[in-house]
């Protein structure tokens, strides 16, 4: 969400200190908690960040996000530098405002979200601009993907598309530079999914004869299996993130800290809402009840 709010709010202070991301996230938190805290009994807020290159995915597929990582390593991605600065601002300040800021070294943010969702009990709301979050939808998980660049969203997803993962595995993903089965785009893939009507990979391959694309599917069998491992958050959790140790920082919300933040980043519209933020974030739980999480003073 830091990337989204950095794009959405081109804000900076009189001293050129960028403040768009922290403003966007605090505004979203206020709106979301006001709408849902009372009815859903929200007891903790966890803000998850990316933490390095996902090595297990590189081993499966060396071209995974290759161009993106290369641009970042060589300094040819100006927005990434801005994003990193705003991310530092967000994680530094949120962890002092009653929010748990969490990372798992060597894993992407969506992998860490999957870990938290599986490790914690109770109902969870997942808010992310990554459509992969619909993989996590269950009776105890509600996902939300914002409908505008400023994070506005009224559409919470409680039912997942059963073909979402296998469709992506067949088509590939251009944003992550993952190639799919040659000759099978989204339209043809949707047609064959309707013909075969199987969501489990084993049953899917056993029934490919029902489709006119039978030969292409059988030829692309290895590609589909590889892509499932690359894209499936549950596979990553089962084989990698489940035993990984998360690190987090969290501190009690105080009005003094919030007012100081508003002054530093010149967030004049939020400062009058300090009492409301105290009500919303002041009594949040600041621990993760699991042996696989380590609490730090600073992240």
Q: Is the pTM of this model over 0.75?
A: yes
194-198: average pLDDT:
79
The DSSP code sequence of 13-73 is -TT--B-HHHHHHHHHHHHHHHHHHHHHT----EEE--BS--HHHHHH-TTTTHHHHHHHH
Greater confidence, 254 or 129?
A: 254
Nearest to 282 by CA among 42, 28, 18, 5: 42
**138: DSSP letter:** B
| Percentage of the chain exceeding pLDDT 90 | 56
CA distance 102 to 46: 7
Sign of CA dihedral 177, 181, 184, 186: negative
Instruction: Check residue 156 and give its pLDDT.
Output: 67
pLDDT tens per residue across span 29-56: 998 898 887 678 899 999 999 987 778 8
pLDDT of residue 209: 72
Tell me the β-bridge partners of 100: 46
Over residues 140-168, mean pLDDT? 75
Q: Which domains does the chain have, with CATH numbers?
A: 2-159+244-295 (3.40.50.1010), 164-233 (1.10.150.20)
- 107 exposed, middle or buried (CB, 10 Å; 0-12, 13-18, 19+)? buried
Alpha carbon distance 129, 57 (integer Å) = 21
Q: Report the SS3 class of residue 259.
A: helix
Q: Is residue 285 over pLDDT 90?
A: yes
Residue 5 and residue 23 in contact, taking contact as beta carbons nearer than 8 Å: yes
């Amino acid at each position: 969400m830091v990337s989204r709010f950095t794009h959405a709010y081109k804000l900076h202070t009189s001293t050129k200190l960028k403040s768009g991301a922290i403003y966007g996230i605090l505004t979203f938190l206020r709106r979301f908690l006001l709408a849902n805290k009372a009815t859903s009994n929200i007891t903790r807020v966890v803000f998850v960040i990316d933490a390095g290159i996902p090595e297990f995915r590189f081993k499966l597929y060396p071209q995974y996000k290759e161009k993106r990582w290369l641009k970042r390593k060589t300094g040819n991605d100006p927005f990434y530098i801005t994003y990193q600065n705003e991310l530092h601002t967000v994680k530094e300040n949120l962890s002092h405002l009653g929010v748990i800021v969490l990372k798992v070294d060597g894993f992407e943010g969506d992998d860490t979200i999957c870990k938290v969702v599986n490790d914690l009990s109770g109902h969870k709301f997942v808010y992310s601009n990554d459509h992969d979050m619909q993989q996590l939808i269950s009776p105890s998980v509600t996902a939300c993907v914002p409908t505008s660049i400023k994070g506005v969203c009224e559409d919470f997803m409680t039912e997942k598309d059963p073909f979402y993962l296998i469709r992506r595995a067949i088509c590939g993903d251009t944003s992550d530079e993952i190639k799919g089965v040659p000759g099978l785009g989204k339209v043809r893939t949707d047609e064959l999914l309707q013909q075969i009507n199987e969501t489990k990979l084993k049953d899917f391959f056993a029934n490919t004869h029902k489709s006119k694309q039978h030969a292409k599917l059988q030829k692309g069998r290895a590609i589909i299996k590889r892509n499932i491992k690359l894209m499936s958050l549950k596979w990553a959790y089962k084989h990698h993130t489940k035993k990984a140790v998360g690190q987090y920082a969290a501190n009690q919300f105080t009005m003094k800290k919030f007012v100081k933040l508003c002054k530093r980043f010149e967030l004049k519209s939020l400062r009058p809402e300090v009492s409301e933020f105290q009500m919303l974030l002041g009594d949040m739980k600041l621990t993760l009840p699991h042996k696989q999480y380590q609490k730090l003073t600073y992240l």
